[in-house]
């Protein structure tokens, strides 16, 4: 079947029907004129013309001006045989089942309790509009930027990490930063140690970099450092991926003793720590801990910060902060991937980060996220669901809820989706078998009434 343009389903349907008809005709046969097709399909002339144009573009029909539209016979060609490709490609590196969750937008009527980005009304849309329009009008809007990023934007990112602007590399989003860092800091075939549960996007980033995932369990205080020491010893891994601040999915914050122990282990094993600092600006209660990078003088920690989370998913501007030869390699090899983040995006990001709109936005975001988190918790309580949120997160956008033993979370999330509620199946966040059934519930995308309705529907 063709998928013509998703917004034009009717012309896709007409195109499918005409394609089937063309397959029963002889090359050179003429199709009825547009006005007849309009009547036959009860569709507008524009819809019919759209369908015909598509079939001409793919070679099924040929238009001859003044004479009509003819069947080419191309539809009679045998079906393509792609079977050789799997053998040539070998084993897939990236586990596709984990990637589907990342793109799970759902339909417009679904209640979204699984998406990891801010609802439109929580984004600084007016500021983005004004700053984006100004950036698009600037004389260098469509010029090439330095591969490492706009100098002033690098300076703005560096300030938060007490780093040198020269240590900063601007990239298009945190996910890209993860793949890039993993690929540069380890060789294919090497191990990367990650806490489990963790962000599935980090797992597929590691897979796409050809790395072996080594899971170390996490508890209510983040990665278990006693187990980490064993894993580093056993695997000789020199790369560790962590989210020290409001980890996705558990919301945990690494306490000072574990931070120190991680830095000690990294030094002992000569290892890098990728600090995925995606949620620093999504604080709700108190203050986030300082970035791990600020406690590390010797360049073990490479930090990643992103604006997609506290601003908008389309603000694909992030930074990798790395010192020493690792930083030089990361920045030096940048153009192997692409040339730069577009100027308009970088200028807009810079405008936002350096204006009074930024602290104003973060202040508002803190209280709005707090309201949504609390609304979700009280709705869970009110519905009497047998679900336990062991730790109320002090930042981030997710609740991590444990279900009764034996619950099939994959089946549960499928059933919820049938009822129009999207929730995160906890098993996707574990590297191997989940030790217990969990769900991840996100409170940043749905409004408070939607959260209430979603939880009620789910409870039913």
Rule CB under 6 A: which residues touch ligand PLP?
A: 116, 173-175, 199, 201, 243, 248, 276, 278, 306, 308, 318
Least distance (Å) between residue 399 CB and ligand PLP: 14
DSSP assigned state of 195: E
Query: Which residue, 160 or 276, has its beta carbon nearer to ligand PLP?
Result: 276
Query: Which residue, 60 or 223, has its beta carbon nearer to ligand PLP?
Result: 223
Half-sphere exposure (Cβ direction) of 108: Cα atoms closer than 13 Å: 0
Query: Which residue, 52 or 345, has its beta carbon nearer to ligand PLP?
Result: 345
Which residues share a beta bridge with 169?
320
| 303 φ/ψ angles, rounded to the nearest 5 degrees | -100, 150
Please give the residue whose beta carbon sits closest to ligand PLP in the complex.
Answer: 174
Least distance (Å) between residue 385 CB and ligand PLP: 24
Query: Which residue, 124 or 174, has its beta carbon nearer to ligand PLP?
Result: 174
Least distance (Å) between residue 423 CB and ligand PLP: 15
Could you tell me how far CA 400 lies from the centroid of its own chain? Answer: 18
Which distant-in-sequence residues (6+ apart) come within 8 Å of 417 by Cβ? 106, 110, 423
Cα 229 to Cα 24, 235, 257, distances in angstroms: 68, 10, 14
Query: Which residue, 52 or 246, has its beta carbon nearer to ligand PLP?
Result: 246
Least distance (Å) between residue 221 CB and ligand PLP: 18
Using CA atoms, how far apart are residues 330 and 307, in angstroms rounded to an integer? 20
* Residue 410 structure tokens: 């994959």
Least distance (Å) between residue 116 CB and ligand PLP: 4
Least distance (Å) between residue 279 CB and ligand PLP: 7
* Residue 397 structure tokens: 């956008």
Using an 8 Å Cβ cutoff, are 273 and 262 in contact?
Answer: yes
Query: Which residue, 238 or 248, has its beta carbon nearer to ligand PLP?
Result: 248
Using an 8 Å Cβ cutoff, are 74 and 59 in contact?
Answer: yes
Least distance (Å) between residue 442 CB and ligand PLP: 10
Query: Which residue, 103 or 256, has its beta carbon nearer to ligand PLP?
Result: 103
Query: Which residue, 269 or 280, has its beta carbon nearer to ligand PLP?
Result: 280
Using CA atoms, how far apart are residues 234 and 42, in angstroms rounded to an integer? 69
Least distance (Å) between residue 344 CB and ligand PLP: 18
Using CA atoms, how far apart are residues 149 and 168, in angstroms rounded to an integer? 8
* Residue 13 structure tokens: 């349907």
Half-sphere exposure (Cβ direction) of 135: Cα atoms closer than 13 Å: 20
């Amino acid at each position: 079947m063709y998928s013509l343009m998703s917004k034009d389903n009717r012309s896709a349907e007409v195109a499918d029907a005409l394609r089937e008809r063309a397959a029963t005709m002889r090359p050179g046969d003429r199709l009825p004129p547009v006005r007849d097709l309009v009547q036959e399909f009860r569709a507008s002339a524009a819809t019919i013309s759209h369908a015909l144009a598509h079939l001409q573009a793919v070679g099924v029909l040929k238009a001859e001006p003044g004479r009509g539209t003819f069947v080419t016979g191309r539809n009679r060609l045998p079906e393509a045989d792609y079977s050789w490709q799997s053998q040539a490609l070998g084993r897939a590196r990236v586990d596709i089942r984990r990637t589907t969750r990342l793109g799970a937008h759902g339909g417009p009527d679904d209640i979204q309790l699984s998406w990891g980005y801010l609802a439109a009304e929580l984004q600084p849309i007016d500021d983005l509009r004004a700053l984006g329009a100004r950036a698009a009008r600037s004389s260098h809007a469509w010029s090439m930027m330095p591969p490492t990023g706009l100098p002033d934007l690098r300076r703005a990112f560096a300030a938060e990490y007490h780093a040198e602007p020269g240590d900063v590399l601007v990239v298009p989003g945190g996910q890209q930063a993860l793949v890039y860092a993993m690929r540069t800091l380890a060789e294919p075939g090497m191990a990367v140690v990650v806490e489990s549960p963790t962000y599935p996007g980090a797992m597929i980033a590691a897979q796409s970099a050809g790395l072996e995932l080594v899971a170390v369990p996490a508890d209510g205080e983040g990665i278990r450092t006693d187990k980490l020491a064993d894993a580093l010893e056993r695997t000789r891994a020199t790369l560790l991926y962590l989210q020290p601040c409001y980890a996705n999915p558990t919301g945990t914050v690494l306490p000072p003793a574990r931070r120190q122990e991680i830095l000690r282990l990294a030094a002992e094993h000569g290892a890098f720590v990728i600090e995925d600092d995606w949620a620093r600006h999504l604080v709700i209660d108190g203050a986030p801990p300082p970035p791990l990078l600020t406690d590390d003088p010797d360049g073990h920690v490479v930090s990643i910060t992103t604006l997609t989370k506290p601003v908008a998913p389309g603000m694909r501007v992030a930074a990798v902060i790395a010192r020493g030869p690792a930083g030089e390699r990361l920045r030096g090899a940048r153009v192997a991937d692409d040339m730069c983040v577009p100027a308009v995006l970088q200028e807009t990001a810079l405008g936002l980060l350096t204006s009074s709109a930024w602290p104003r936005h973060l202040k508002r975001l803190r209280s709005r996220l707090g309201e949504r988190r609390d609304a979700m918790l009280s709705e869970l309580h009110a519905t009497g669901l047998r679900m336990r949120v062991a730790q109320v997160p002090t930042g981030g956008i997710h609740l991590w809820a444990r279900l009764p033993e034996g619950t099939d979370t994959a089946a549960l999330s499928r059933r919820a989706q049938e009822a129009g509620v999207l929730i995160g199946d906890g098993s996707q966040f574990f590297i191997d078998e989940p030790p217990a059934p969990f769900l991840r519930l996100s409170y940043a995308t749905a409004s408070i009434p939607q959260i209430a309705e979603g939880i009620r529907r789910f409870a039913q």
